[in-house]
Chains A and B, each alone.
Chain A
Amino acid sequence: MGLEQFKNRNIGEQNYVTLDLGEVPSTNLDRFKQVVSRTFKGELFVGLWVTMREMINALFNDNMHTVQYPLEKLPISPRYRAIHDMLRLLESGHYRCIGCGLCEKICISNCISIQTRYDENQRKEVSEYSINFGRCIFCGYCAEVCPELAIVHGSRYETASEQRASFSIFEDMLTPKENLSLQQEYQGYGSVSDNADENIKKTPLAY
């Protein structure tokens, strides 16, 4: 289909279809007939049935929309960018960060601060690492630039705390050693949600 008909903006040349809006009654008798026909049409009962159907669906077919939030939580997308996680190597359990400092360089709000030093084996180790979450805009550049997949975005979106420092120190973001087997790999940008299949619907035009 060509685009010509959409590019033509001259009114009156397009093939518009006039909607059938029905006849507007002109005489009093026609108005009376309209009132009577509408009275006995039963459309009010259609409205009653719709609400009753929704109530039956909600109560008996498990179609209630309310999520009782602190008790129930909806799954979040794997792309979601919440508080950062620091991941560990699965084999040795050592943290993955090699102290390259790329995340500090790329951070556009200057909220990451990293300090490194040489340890006794002349390997780089992280001596100080903190993210100022008062400044962080959760853009995700740090996770994208990290060559070791060491800093990723986790799923902690409930960020109310008594102090900002509560989850901004390296050790707090690091996966606990005993939970190493539960460590989630970051699925990467563009990954689909766990419940993506359930969320597929026809477009409204189809029904």
Chain B
Amino acid sequence: METTIVENLPHVSTAGVMIKAMMIMAIISAIAGFGTFIERKVLAFMQRRLGPMHVGPYGLLQLIADGIKLFTKEDIIPQNANKLMFMVAPVITAATAFIALSAVPVFPNFTIPSWVPLLGGTFVPSIAADLNIGILFVLGMMASGLYGPLLAGMSQANKWGIIGSARTAIQFLSYEVVTGLSLLAPIMIVGSLSFVDFNNAQAGGVGDWLIWQQPVAFVLFLIAGFAETNRTPFDLLEHEAEVVSGYATEYSGMRWGMFFIGEYANMITISIIAAIVFLGGYSEGSFGWLTIIFKVGFFFFFMLWVRAAWPHVRPDQLMWLCWKVLMPIAVINILITATVLMV
């Protein structure tokens, strides 16, 4: 298990990686936009409402209307803000979210048919950058996404923004520990940091899924994933009842939209990691990629479901949960896993 399957694949050219990068940008942005529609619909159904209904059939074109609104809205920069930081911060959030996706397998391998002019015959890989330290890279990139909300809140000369960015710092830094420690146990079992190795290690069907060997790590990773993506039980960064909109208070138009796209891209990334590391990932065969889409869709739906069902916690409860409950459990889990592996 020391190498990935790079040797088995056709030559990955620069053009293929470029195409893949553009695919990720275009498709994940579209899915993130569509995710807002799905979120509104699911939340509405769970509250016995209809959700958006008037723009297009069943409100399907609502996201286009939202896009037009975001793009044409005035871009306001507050007078006392640090202008450079204020303008750069949303880009950091969106960029780190998409860079993290570059090391994650999204969509199957395919070769562009040879009749296509210029690009015919180019092999487009499943992973844009097939690193052998994929998980480490993805976690690192998602962690550096912390700078987006942090700089945004500090640069905007707004007290709600300051509180929001302070909450960002404590929440993301604390839960980074739990994410890393909870993924460490599966990494020890598989013995690799590559997503492809994880996928191959669980290729033997449902019985081989790592969730059966590591249920505790799975639950810990889900909890930490909710905190890292700023989803509802832990959405303290921009909880409007307390801090107006947190770090995004002064943002408008497309700069705010970039925070939004970054959050949804992060939700997709966390869902993909959970699906590959714990639930077996994609399977072989021509329709194998449908299985991972189904799993990712389930995790995405689960995040919306939780938002409809559960109240959110206080900041002190969040810290208590992280440092006094989750982190000790994660360490104990690693110790037990290590003991079992040694013996």
The answer to whether B48 touches A63 (Cβ under 8 A) is yes
Contacts of A35 in B (CB 8 A): 325
Known contacts A47-B310, A48-B306, A50-B309; A59 and B45 CB within 8 A of each other: yes
Within 8 A of A (CB), among B22-53: 42, 45-50, 53
A66 touches B46 (CB 8 A): no
A57 and B308 contact, Cβ closer than 8 Å, known pairs A35-B325, A68-B53: no
Is B310's CB under 8 angstroms from A44's CB?
A: yes
Residues B49 and A66 in contact, CB atoms below 8 Å apart:
yes
Residues of A within 8 Å of B305, CB to CB, are 48, 51-52
Q: Report whether B48 and A52 are in contact in the complex, using a CB–CB cutoff of 8 Å.
A: no
B48 touches A51 (CB 8 A): no
B53 close to A54 (CB less than 8 A): no
Asked whether any CB of chain B lies closer than 8 Å to the CB of A165, the reply is no
**Contact, CB under 8 Å: A54 / B48:** yes
A98 within 8 A of B: no
Among A48, A51, A66, chain B packs the most CB atoms within 10 A around the CB of A51
B325 contacts across to A, CB distance below 8 A? 35
Annotate A46-66 by CB proximity to B: 1 below 8 A, 0 otherwise.
011011101101110001111
Choose one: B48, B53, B309; the contact of A48 (CB below 8 Å): B309
Give Cα distance in the complex from A113 to B310, angstroms: 60
**A63 partner residues in chain B, CB cutoff 8 A:** 48
A64 with B306: CB separation less than 8 A: no
Tell me the A112-161 residues at the B interface (CB within 8 Å): none
Set of chain A residues within 8 Å of B48, measured between Cβ atoms: 54, 57-58, 63-66
Within 8 A of A (CB), among B322-338: 325
Measured CB to CB, the closest approach of chain A to B201, in angstroms, equals: 30
Are A51 and B49 neighbours in the complex by a CB distance under 8 Å?
Answer: no
Selected from B42, B50, B309, the residue in CB contact (under 8 A) with A47 is B309
Interface centre among A44, A63, A66 (most CB of B within 10 A): A66
Residue interface mask A76-103, B partner, CB < 8 A = 1? 0000000000000000000000000000
Closest-CB distance, A58 to chain B (whole angstroms): 4
The CA of A147 and the CA of B47, in the complex, are separated in Å by 50
Residues of chain B contacted by A50 (CB below 8 angstroms) = 309
**Residue ID in chain B nearest A67 by CB atoms:** B50
Give, as a whole number of angstroms, the nearest-CB distance from A40 to chain B.
12
**Which chain B residue shows the least CB distance to A64?**
B48
Whether A51 contacts B46 in the complex (CB less than 8 A), given A35-B325, A44-B310, comes out as yes
Question: Taking CB as reference atom, which chain A residue is nearest B311?
Answer: A47
Cβ-defined contact, B310 with A52, below 8 A: no
Contact assessment for B50 and A66 in the assembled complex, using a CB-CB cutoff below 8 Å:
yes
Given contacts A35-B325, A58-B45, A59-B45, contact A51 B50 (CB under 8 A): no
Residues of chain B contacted by A65 (CB below 8 angstroms): 48-49
CB < 8 Å neighbour of A55 from B46, B50, B306: B46
Chain A CB count within 10 A is highest, among B46, B47, B53, B306, for B46
**Interchain nearest-CB distance for B308 vs A (Å):** 5
How far apart are B45's CB and chain A's nearest CB, in angstroms?
A: 5
A55 lies within 8 A of B45 (CB): yes
Given the interface contacts A58-B45, A59-B45, does A68 sit within 8 Å of B50 by beta carbon? yes
CB contacts under 8 Å to A, within B308-325, are 308-310, 325
Q: Is B309 in contact with A51, judged by CB distance below 8 angstroms?
A: yes
Q: Do the beta carbons of A64 and B46 come within 8 Å of each other?
A: no
Q: How far is the CA of A89 from the CA of B53 in the complex (A)?
A: 45
Distance to closest chain A CB from B278 (angstroms): 19
Chain A residue at minimal CB-CB distance from B308: A51
Residue on B with the closest CB to A47? B309
Q: A35-B325, A47-B310 are in contact. Are A52 and B50 (CB under 8 A)?
A: no
From B51, which residue of chain A is reached at the shortest CB distance? A66
Q: Report the minimal beta-carbon distance from A35 to chain B, rounded to whole angstroms.
A: 7
Nearest-neighbour CB distance to chain B for A72, whole angstroms, equals 11
Among A35, A44, A55, A64, max chain B CB count under 10 A is at: A55
* Alpha-carbon separation in the docked complex, A57 to B45 (Å): 9
Chain A neighbourhood of B49, CB < 8 A: 58, 64-66
Q: CA A44 – CA B232 in complex, angstroms?
A: 14
- CA separation between A63 and B50, bound complex, in Å? 11
CB distance from B297 to the nearest CB of A (A): 16
Alpha-carbon distance A68/B51, docked complex (angstroms) = 11
Considering the complex, give the chain B residue whose CB is closest to the CB of A50: B309
List 25 A-B pairs, Cβ < 8 Å.
A35-B325, A44-B309, A44-B310, A47-B309, A48-B306, A48-B310, A50-B309, A51-B46, A51-B305, A51-B308, A51-B309, A52-B305, A54-B46, A54-B47, A54-B48, A55-B45, A55-B46, A58-B46, A58-B48, A58-B49, A59-B45, A64-B49, A65-B48, A66-B50, A68-B53
* Top-10 shortest CB links A-B: A58-B48, A66-B50, A51-B309, A47-B309, A51-B46, A65-B48, A55-B45, A51-B308, A55-B46, A48-B309
